[in-house]
């Protein structure tokens, strides 16, 4: 069976000619219905009898127009557009083509040529993707959206920092908020532990594709999970990463609300530090929930209590494996760790152990859950070869080096894949935060004491000192 594509006028013409062929209407009636002369009616009737319905389809369909520009001319225009006017719109490009190249085209023709060359998109392609709203989850604790909002929360009174927000999808209730220096694995571990100890384990966390939740590199090692994702998997908590900010719009919208209301509330309380903000946030969170929280569709709470064997301190760590050498040493983050000789440690030669770095800065070397005593030799803290200076410049050189070391320590970066440690209060690898220094290092002013200008001498004093030419 052949399927024909016919226009509405062609279908009407086919129906009229079939009635004429069956003798239901006269030729004069067909002429009036079709608006054609007698000769054209007989011509179409003969084509219908010979070819059937396909004989009434326009023979120009599928063929290029007789007034269409040649392919060579269209290619020439596309080349000019690509070389000279790649970022021009059709209207502006049409003016320059007529002025500089003598090519006259309509805007619509030029727009189609640009679309074929990939230099322009039609309105449908430019239209943003629609995001359909979805219903809330039914129960509290079924889905908790998590995000970090970097903002000037203290306005000009303190440094820029990040607010970690946990909001329940079913009720829009702020479950936990915490102010940290930056979004990092350790800051999320600390906030997640506080959440789990307070509310229990939700069914799932809904987050973005931050590196703390998702391994964004193509060459993922091991199981491809992040340290936080592996800890949540052991705690039987599902981790879902959204493909777009619009997908987790509930937490994005509450971030905008907090950037307005919370900033003003902390301004009235004269809060300017992270510690003061974290002490104020519980009371503000209760006030916010009274104003904006909704009742869930289902009154059940799906938070699960922690099991007896689930140790949050042991799970929420940065854990990496290292191989112990025959000399009972191992290397981690450009530092060498020497295990204390004992029967337990000597049996671990050529075996793998776990290096566990905690959010509070502690570092443990474990084997099957047992911590091993160790000593640390930091290879980055060895003294470099001294610079050769004259004795008269030695004091200035030492003062300059001491000033640089105090303001900006040398070798602040260890490994490219090391965790951000701004959330650690102390620890083996704790580095001073750039924001804590409060000033930017300017090497041009180091070691140069600037002379202060005193009051101008009077004319009598200038004359007394033999500087009368400077008197006014």
Residue 441 pLDDT > 80: no
| Residue 186 Ramachandran class (φ > 0 left, ψ -120 to 50 alpha, else beta) | alpha
Report pLDDT for 246: 84
Report pLDDT for 436: 44
Dihedral sign of CA atoms 264, 270, 271, 273 in order: positive
Residue 447 pLDDT > 60: no
Mean pLDDT computed over 141-170:
93
Report pLDDT for 390: 45
Residue 234 pLDDT > 80: yes
Mean pLDDT computed over 271-286:
94
pLDDT, averaged across the chain: 83
Contact call for residues 205 and 238 (beta carbons, < 8 A): yes
Interatomic CA distance for residues 421 and 124, integer angstroms: 46
* Between 81 and 407, the higher pLDDT residue: 81
* Between 63 and 446, the higher pLDDT residue: 63
Confidence band (pLDDT; 50, 70, 90) for 387?
Answer: very low
Report pLDDT for 423: 67
Candidates 355, 363, 339; CA nearest to 421 is 363
Report pLDDT for 91: 93
For 10, 139, 170, 255, 411, the CA distances from 135, given in Å and listed in that order, are: 48, 12, 9, 20, 51
Candidates 72, 284, 104, 303; CA nearest to 200 is 303
**Model confidence pLDDT, tens digit, residues 314-348:** 999 999 999 999 889 998 888 889 999 888 888 99
Residue 178 pLDDT > 70: yes
Confidence band (pLDDT; 50, 70, 90) for 129?
Answer: confident
Interatomic CA distance for residues 142 and 150, integer angstroms: 26
Judged by average pLDDT, the poorest of 124-138, 170-184, 233-247 is 124-138
**Model confidence pLDDT, tens digit, residues 180-226:** 998 889 999 999 999 999 999 999 999 998 888 988 775 455 567 88
205 three-class SS: strand
Mean pLDDT computed over 149-157:
92
* Between 461 and 342, the higher pLDDT residue: 342
**What is the end-to-end Cα distance of the chain in Å, rounded?**
112
Residue 410 pLDDT > 80: no
Confidence band (pLDDT; 50, 70, 90) for 437?
Answer: very low
Judged by average pLDDT, the poorest of 215-224, 297-306, 457-466 is 215-224
Report pLDDT for 167: 96
In the chain, pLDDT over 90 holds for what percent of residues?
A: 44
How many residues belong to the chain?
472
Mean pLDDT computed over 393-410:
60
Beta bridge partners of 292: none
State the pTM of this model: 0.62
Report pLDDT for 453: 57
Task: Output the six-digit token pair for 394.
Answer: 């030695």
Strands 238-241 and 335-339: unpaired
Q: Residue 63 phi/psi, 5° resolution?
A: -105, 150
């Amino acid at each position: 069976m052949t399927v024909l594509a016919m226009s509405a006028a062609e279908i009407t013409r086919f129906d009229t000619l079939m009635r004429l062929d069956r003798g239901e209407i006269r030729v004069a009636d067909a002429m009036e219905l079709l608006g054609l002369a007698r000769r054209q009616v007989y011509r179409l009737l003969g084509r219908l009898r010979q070819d059937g319905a396909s004989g009434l389809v326009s023979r120009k369909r599928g063929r290029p127009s007789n007034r269409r520009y040649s392919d060579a001319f269209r290619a020439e225009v596309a080349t000019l557009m690509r070389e000279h006017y790649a970022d021009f719109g059709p209207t502006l490009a049409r003016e320059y083509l007529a002025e500089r190249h003598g090519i006259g085209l309509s805007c619509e023709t030029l727009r189609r040529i640009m679309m074929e060359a990939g230099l322009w998109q039609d309105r449908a392609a430019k239209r943003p993707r629609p995001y359909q709203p979805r219903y809330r989850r039914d129960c509290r604790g079924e889905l908790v959206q998590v995000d970090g909002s970097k903002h000037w929360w203290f306005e000009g009174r303190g440094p820029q920092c990040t607010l970690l927000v946990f909001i329940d999808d079913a009720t829009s209730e702020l479950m936990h908020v915490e102010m940290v220096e930056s979004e990092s694995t350790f800051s999320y571990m600390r906030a997640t532990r506080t959440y789990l100890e307070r509310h229990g384990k939700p069914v799932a966390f809904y987050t973005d594709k931050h590196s703390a939740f998702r391994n964004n590199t193509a060459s993922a090692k091991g199981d491809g999970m992040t340290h936080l994702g592996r800890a949540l998997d052991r705690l039987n908590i599902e981790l879902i990463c959204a493909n777009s900010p619009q997908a987790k719009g509930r937490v994005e919208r509450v971030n905008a609300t907090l950037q307005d209301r919370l900033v003003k509330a902390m301004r009235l309380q004269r809060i300017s530090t992270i510690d003061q903000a974290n002490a104020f946030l519980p009371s503000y969170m209760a006030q916010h929930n009274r104003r904006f929280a909704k009742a869930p569709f289902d009154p059940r709470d799906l938070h699960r209590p922690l099991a007896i064997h689930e140790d949050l301190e042991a799970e929420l760590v940065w854990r990496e494996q290292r191989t112990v050498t025959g000399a009972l040493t191992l290397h981690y983050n450009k530092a060498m760790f020497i295990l204390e000789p004992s029967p337990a440690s000597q049996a671990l030669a050529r075996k793998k152990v776990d290096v566990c770095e905690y959010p509070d800065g502690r570092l443990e070397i474990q084997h099957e859950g047992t911590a091993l005593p160790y000593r640390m030799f930091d290879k980055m803290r060895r003294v470099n070869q001294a610079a050769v200076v004259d004795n008269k410049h030695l004091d200035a050189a030492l003062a300059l080096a001491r000033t640089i070391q105090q303001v900006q320590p040398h070798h602040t970066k260890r490994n490219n894949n090391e965790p951000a440690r701004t959330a650690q209060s102390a620890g083996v690898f704790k580095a001073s935060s750039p924001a804590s220094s409060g000033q930017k290092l300017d090497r041009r002013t180091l070691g140069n004491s600037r002379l202060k200008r005193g009051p101008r001498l009077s004319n009598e004093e200038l004359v007394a000192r033999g500087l009368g030419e400077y008197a006014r």
